[in-house]
Amino acid sequence: MPRRSRSCSRGLGCDDHGDAQASRGRARRRLVTAPFASRLLAWFDRHGRHDLPWQHPRSAYRVWLSEIMLQQTQVATVIPYFQRFVERFPDLASLAAAEVDEVLALWSGLGYYARARNLHRAARELVANGVPESADGWAALPGVGPSTAAAIVAQAFDERAVILDG
């Protein structure tokens, strides 16, 4: 018979393996995480960027477009490209209907042109199959990795997701 800790025998929230300490550790992390998250969000409310063009109006299309453009590129560089891009392609359908050469021409100067080709291919897939609301759905698209997918669902659909920025 497996040995159970004394805490477990007293009914202190043991898991399937009889480990009360693991259960207490998870509870302690939740208590620490909530105040940290609150402080972080309060900091963002005071100091964060609230005026980026892809934030207003916020849509899955605009968030996705900005996240692809922001890969390996600074925000200040992306802003004018983003504005020109949404002026020419205001929605997913217009981007999907465009020729790839036109997309590449608007992308010219932003670098990493595979991003533009993947963006165009993904736009066509999104028009054909619909816009996913899950990170897994976004990550299945060309040019969208797990972190980008998480950023899209967090911003566009207000989902909890882990975003890594390097």
| Active-site choice (67, 87, 99, 125) | 67
**What is the DSSP code (8-state) at residue 71?**
T
Active site annotation includes 99:
no
Report d(CA 98, CA 90) in Å as an integer: 12
Q: Coil, helix or strand for 78?
A: helix
2: left (phi over 0), alpha (psi -120 to 50) or beta: beta
**What is the DSSP code (8-state) at residue 57?**
T
Report d(CA 144, CA 54) in Å as an integer: 18
Known catalytic residues?
A: 67
